[in-house]
Structure formats: C-alpha cells, structure tokens
Structure 1
Amino acid sequence: MNDKFDYLIFIGRFQPFHHGHEFVVKEALKKAHRVIMLIGSANSPRTIKNPFTFDERAKMILKAFDDECRHRIWCAPIDDKLYNDHQWLQNVQTAVCHLVEKNARIGVIGHTKDDSSYYLSLFPNWEAIELPNFENLSATPLRKRYLKNGEIDEQMPKSSQEFLAKFKNTSDYTHLADEYAHIQTFQDAWKNTPYPPIFNTADALVIQSGHVLLIERKGDYGYGLWALPGGFLNSHESLLDCAVRELHEETGLTVDKHSLKYSQIFDAPERSLRGRTITSVFYFELTGASLPKVVGKDDASQAFWLPLANLDGKMMFEDHYSIITKMLGL
C-alpha cells in the first residue's frame, strides 16, 4: 500500500533559501509525490526583510535540486495579509485548490521555529508534519550579514550562493545595503536606553471618488515607495492633530476634521524595521466634483491621487498596503 501524500505544502518566505529549508523539502519529497512551495511576501517591495522577489526565490529553490526532484516541486506566490488572517488563509486554500485535484491527500510540513511558523496549526483538514529545526538555521542572521558586509554564508545551497554573488553587483543590493546601514544608525541612537523605545506615529488615509491620496517617500528609509501621509507624534499634540499636520506638511492638503469617518490603531510588533512603532490611522472621506490639488513637500518627493484599482503592494511602504485594504475592506 502506498502511504505517500499526494502533496505536501511548505509555506515560508525563504529570504534566502538555506539548508534548513532544503532539509524540509528533501523530507517532503520522501513523503509525498509532489511538494508545493507557497512563497510568502510575494507582493512586497524590496526591503531588508524581504530583499528578493518571488521569481528570484523560486529560482533559488528549484536550482537547488536535480531534474527529477525539480519536476516534483511547484512554487506559487502568496500575498501578505498582515491584518487579515482569514484572508491569508483563504489565499492559501485557494492557491492549493487551483494546483491539486479533488480528493488528493494533502499535508502541511515545516518546523516550529518562531511565531512565523504558527501556520502549521491553521489547517485542520490537512495533516501537519512537524520537523526539527535543521542546525537551528534562520534566514535572518544570514540576511543581515549579507546586507551588512556582503557575506555569503555556506549554510545555503550553491544556487542561493550563486544568486547572492550576482545580486551583490546590482543597484538593488546597493540600495538595500544603504538602507540597512541607515536603520542600524537609527537604532544605535537609542541602543543604550534602559528600555527599547516605542514610537508613536499618525497617518492619514484620505479617500475621494475611488482614489487614495499617497506620497512618494524621498528619505533614506523607504526611498521611492508609496506611503500614506503621516509621521511621528510631537509631544504637545494629539494623534488626530498629528495626522492633520503631517497631511498638510507632506501634501499641502488641509482637511476638515468633520470629514473624519473613523480611526484605527495598527500595532503589529514588526510593522516597522526601524523599531517598535504603533500608528493611528485616521480615515477621511472627501466629496467634490474634482480631486483637490496636492503637491509633495517635506518628506515627500511627490503627492498624488491613485485610483484604488491601481494599488500595488510591491510599491507600498511598510504595512501601508495592508492598512489601506483593511480599513477599506478591499
């Protein structure tokens, strides 16, 4: 009797693909006819946490195996849904349903490394296979050493090492390395405080006629990415006043506080790479025959109205794409 799974699902970001990931795939190939790699953060821009695209990671993964294994490994993208676990679960289920036949025997495989591995318990209709953490490997220190000084660790398959060696010669690597250094400098300024600081910010989500008001960032952190107007809270102001002030400073737009629909706090612990940052987002809904004129100022190289249909997670700063889709129910 053949007791193999038809498919085993392995979910991860693989930033980059290392020997720990490779170990899980090899074990999955022993237990299943096919392995489906669901590659997370597929709709994110390049950041020091997610430096490589879906296609780049898929190539790293597939080139690590011989032809026979490669044909049994399928890679599929999964978008982040930071503030909507139900949507993320639906996306995983939908991706798998599109790849497998009805009545297939499916399992999910991985190891409980940290909070990012909680997905192993989220699919009661699939058998969970938990593996030990291979040599306690984690992508985070590998990624940090690579961005800090270009170190390419041997704890990765040759396919990953070769890709990283080529990537070091690109402008994307230079930008990421510069951003890593900027964040380290930012964090060094408060590393000797008795307790790690918690920052408070406020952002403005302004909607009119199916358009959202965004800025393009021009600072060292998140350069060129689209963001909601907003910034750090001053000691003398309320959160609402902060959002209104930052909105005017970055776009030139002054809003009537009576146009405020509601506000919401976003406090995912790792939402900002700079440090623990809690933001309050204020949703303003405007009316009018034409969109108000805006102009990028202060921390914004430009301000613009974007049709909601053109929202692109790959262009959005930090968790702002997730904030917009959560608050607007998109």
Structure 2
Amino acid sequence: MHRKDSYALAVVIGRFSPFHNGHLALVRHALALADQVLIVLGSAAQPRTVKNPFLAAEREQMIRACLPDAAARLHFAALPDNLYSDQAWVTGVQRAVDASGAPATRVCLVGYEKDESSYYLKMFPQWRLEPFALTQGQVSATQVRDILFADLLETADGKTPATEDFATQPLALKKPDAGRDMLLASWLPAAVLDFIRAFRRTDAFEQLVREHTFLQTYRSQFVGLKYPPIFVTVDAVVVQSGHVLLVQRGAEPGKGLWALPGGFLDANERIADAVIRELVEETRIKVPAKVLRGSIKASQVFDHPGRSQRGRTITHAHLIVLEDSPAGLPEIKGGSDARRARWVPLAVARNMSESFFEDHGSILEHFVANL
C-alpha cells in the first residue's frame, strides 16, 4: 500500500559504470520519493569497452548488493543505446515504465544535470522531474574508470608503451598500488569495491587496461593542438545471398570484436576509392574492384560525436550488394589489420550487438533492415 505523499514509481536512468557513492545517494533519494524504483541501465547489449566496462547484469548485481534492504522495491530494465534515434531510445524507456503498471500521474523521473549528456532528462514531459543535488566535489564514473585502468601496462623494460609497441612487443600488467585502492575505497560502496577486486583477476580486465593505455597514448598525439583532428573513415556493408561480410579486429581498440571492413581515408584519395581499397585489403575478396564499385547501392554518413573513443571520427558507409552466384559466396581471407574475415548470415549478424565494434551494428541495421 503506497504512502499518500509518495509516487508509485521513480525512474532513474544511467549507465552506473561503475556504481559509485554519488549513484548510491541518487537511488536512495529515489527510494525516499516512491514506493518502487525502476533503474534503467543504459548501454546494454554491447561489448566491454573502456567507457562501458561492465555488463548490464553486473551493474544490476552491484546495485542490488549495495541496497539489500530495498531488494523488493528495486526493478531493472536494460536498454541498448541508439546513437541515431533518440525517439527509439525514449520509446524503450517508456515501454519499461508502462510494463511496471504504475499510473502515469504517479511516476517521477529522478536525476541531476551533470553535463551535456543529461539532456535526456527533458525528453519525458509526461513525468514530473525530481532533481537531485550532487554533493560538492562528488566523483564521476569517468574518474573511477581512469583510476581503475590507467598506468597499469608497461613494456619489458618498465616503460609506458607507445602506440606501435602494442603490435611489436609483449606488454605486462602491473599490480595496482595501495594508494589507488584507497582512492577507490573513498569513492565506491564496499560491495562495489569487492566486485572490482574480483574483476581485476579476469582476462577482461587485462584487455581493458590494454585498450585504455592504447587510447590514452593515441590521443596524446593531439594534445595541445588548437583544433583537434577530425578523422574520416569508410566502411563497407557487403551483402550477398543473405549474408554480410564481417572482419574480426586484430588490434586495439576493439581487439577481437567484429566490424565492417573499413579504415581511414588517405589524404589524396576519394571516398569511394577508399571503400574499395579497405574492403580488398581487409578481406582479400575475390571480386574485381570494378564489380565491387558497380555494386554500390547506397551510402550514408554516420557522425555521432561519441561513436569512437579514438576521437571525433566521421565514417562514410557504403552498401555493396553482390549478385547471387551459382559458385556461392566469394572467397575471402583476413588481411591488413583484420584477424579474419567471415560471411555471416544476416539473421545472425543482426543479433551480434554484444560483439560489434563501435556503432557498426547500427550501421549494418540501417542498410539491411529493408533488404
């Protein structure tokens, strides 16, 4: 039975990656306002990255461990990102709230405006916004991740790796020092700190340290520039006989993840030429370049500012539809920086969101949804 002065449901939206003391205060505030609390976990159904190192189920585990007395009042919905459709994302949140059965007039949204990423708080006018004031000096999840992954990789002679070292020599993982643990202990609830300590012993943690070090080293090349570079890349969505051509990345960032064949535009190259060049380099596809070019059916620019952790990267993706052949799918072989190439049934590829690099799943869906 609800209290007369409370909401039926408080909605809290975030990535909580990881769940820190500020998040804990936020959820406790929501519990004080409403009978039930729905926590919408963003960035679900995607691979581990430095920005999103923990799976949705792991983040739910952290939160529940921090609030055992409120277990019956906490509910969770894992929601994937949708970089190119705010309305699709908003609809996902609305569906999660509708499923709770709470009357719309007794639903509130609880949150705080930390930066430009908080614009989503204004996208639900049907619910009253209950703002939450952060404590001065409150830590951010970005700071926690930096402390968690930074300065833990070294070369055999004890130096910080350069970008080229990732491909040319073995790199060793250093043991975190006591000072780092003390800082994390001041920022994180005890249950989350326990989770982090166990996570450090996994292969996933080691790979994230490698990726964090690579990205920091890569981005350091551009520190101090008046105008940070904007990178231009190309990607090829090659389809034939109900299959799409994918490559597995062989290097950081995203080592081991599946991607569309593609890469950076050369300085003196036209975009269509770059698409064919990268496609051939990465897949060794046994189709003449003239046929590949003539099979381009559509193109689209994908330019979300957050689509790549390497920096501002705008890609020009091209749909290449090859005619069905009695000989079957063209022969392919991973080349360049691709570990391997593979023809994947479209029905399988469209459900590989947890294995795709950056926004390549969204790019694929854009082109093949209506094929």
Q: Normalization by structure 2: what TM-score?
A: 0.85
Structure 1 CA distance for aligned equivalents of residues 104 and 199 of structure 2 = 42
Aligned to 1:146: 148
Any conservation in 2 of the 1:83–1:323 contact (CA below 8 Å)? no
Aligned to 1:301: 339
Aligned to 2:8: 6
The Cα of 1:252 is off from its aligned counterpart by 1.4
The reply on whether 1:158 has 2:198 as its aligned counterpart is no
Alignment of 1:92-241 (within 5 A): 92-101=93-102, 105-135=106-136, 136-149=138-151, 150=176, 151-152=180-181, 153=184, 154-241=186-273
What do you get for the CA RMSD once the two structures are aligned? 1.7
Any conservation in 1 of the 2:104–2:126 contact (CA below 8 Å)? no
Deviations 1:14-48 (A, max 9, x none): 01001111111111111100101110111110110
Deviations 1:112-156 (A, max 9, x none): 112222111111222221222333431111111111144341211
Aligned to 2:355: 315
Which amino acid is 1:5 matched to?
Y
The Cα of 1:326 is off from its aligned counterpart by 2.6
Any conservation in 1 of the 2:308–2:358 contact (CA below 8 Å)? yes
SS at match of 2:150: helix
The Cα of 1:226 is off from its aligned counterpart by 0.3
Structure 1 CA distance for aligned equivalents of residues 145 and 7 of structure 2 = 33
Deviations 1:155-180 (A, max 9, x none): 11111111111111111111100111
The Cα of 1:71 is off from its aligned counterpart by 1.6
SS at match of 1:134: coil
Aligned to 2:156: none
SS at match of 1:108: strand
Structure 2 CA distance for aligned equivalents of residues 162 and 101 of structure 1 = 35
The Cα of 1:190 is off from its aligned counterpart by 2.6
Q: 1:163 to 1:275 in 2, by over 3 A?
A: same
Q: Normalization by structure 1: what TM-score?
A: 0.95
Structure 2 CA distance for aligned equivalents of residues 211 and 127 of structure 1 = 47
Structure 1 CA distance for aligned equivalents of residues 97 and 362 of structure 2 = 23
Any conservation in 2 of the 1:83–1:326 contact (CA below 8 Å)? no
Deviations 1:67-126 (A, max 9, x none): 2x1221112210111112121112111222223356672121111112222111111222
Aligned to 1:15: 17
Any conservation in 1 of the 2:8–2:102 contact (CA below 8 Å)? no
2:58 aligned to which of 56, 59, 82: 56
Aligned to 1:25: 27
Structure 2 CA distance for aligned equivalents of residues 305 and 205 of structure 1 = 11
The Cα of 1:256 is off from its aligned counterpart by 2.5
Which amino acid is 2:113 matched to?
T
Out of 85-94 and 144-153, give the one that drifted further.
144-153
The Cα of 1:202 is off from its aligned counterpart by 0.7
Identity percentage over the alignment? Answer: 41
Which amino acid is 1:268 matched to?
H
Structure 2 CA distance for aligned equivalents of residues 143 and 220 of structure 1 = 18
Q: 1:132 to 1:305 in 2, by over 3 A?
A: same
Structure 2 CA distance for aligned equivalents of residues 60 and 104 of structure 1 = 30
Any conservation in 2 of the 1:84–1:326 contact (CA below 8 Å)? no
Unaligned runs of 5+ in 2: 152-175
Any conservation in 2 of the 1:265–1:279 contact (CA below 8 Å)? yes
Which amino acid is 1:38 matched to?
V
Aligned to 1:74: 75
Any conservation in 1 of the 2:105–2:127 contact (CA below 8 Å)? no
- Higher Cα radius of gyration: 2
Which amino acid is 2:135 matched to?
F
